[in-house]
Amino acid sequence: MKRPQRSLPDINTIVRYLIGDDPAQFAAAKEFFDRVKNGSVKAVFLESVIVECVYVLTKIYRVPRSRAAGSLADILRYRGVVNEDRRELIRALEMFAERSFDIVDCILFVKAQSGGDILFSFDADLKRLHDAE
């Protein structure tokens, strides 16, 4: 049995939707995300795309960490999002918003913790994150 077709939105689609700086692209992105929101379109958000979105939003567009993370977490809560790791990604974004840790470190930490895995790292920030929990 073939699984239903899913969409894989890229960084530009997500940023145009959240920033709205290109009216034509914003309109097309909004139409897409409205359909994801109501569940008529199924979408998967790759970790790499989430990470790049955080970078572009916070470094290029200077969106505050909490707002960038909150907006991305809100999208991940849309009815049509079918990521198996949705809860972990939302939790990592929440952690990123609340603390001064890198988004990749937050994702690694949350995934290791939720899966009962051991996180091995020489990264002092990641060790601090582990010690803080």
**DSSP letter assigned to residue 100:** S
**Is residue 130 helix, strand or coil?**
helix
Q: Residue 129: its pLDDT value, please?
A: 67
Q: Using the Cα atoms of residue 98, residue 101, residue 104 and residue 106 in order, give the sign of their dihedral.
A: negative
Distance CA(93)–CA(125), nearest Å, equals: 16
What is the tens place of the pLDDT at every residue in 72-110?
Answer: 999 999 999 999 999 999 999 999 999 888 999 999 999
Q: What is the mean pLDDT of the chain?
A: 92
Fill in the amino acid letter for 8: L
Backbone φ/ψ region at 113: left (φ over 0), alpha (ψ -120 to 50), beta: alpha
Six token digits for residue 104: 């990749």
Predicted local confidence at residue 131, as pLDDT? 60
Rounded to an integer, what distance in angstroms lies between the CA atom of residue 112 and that of residue 109? Answer: 5
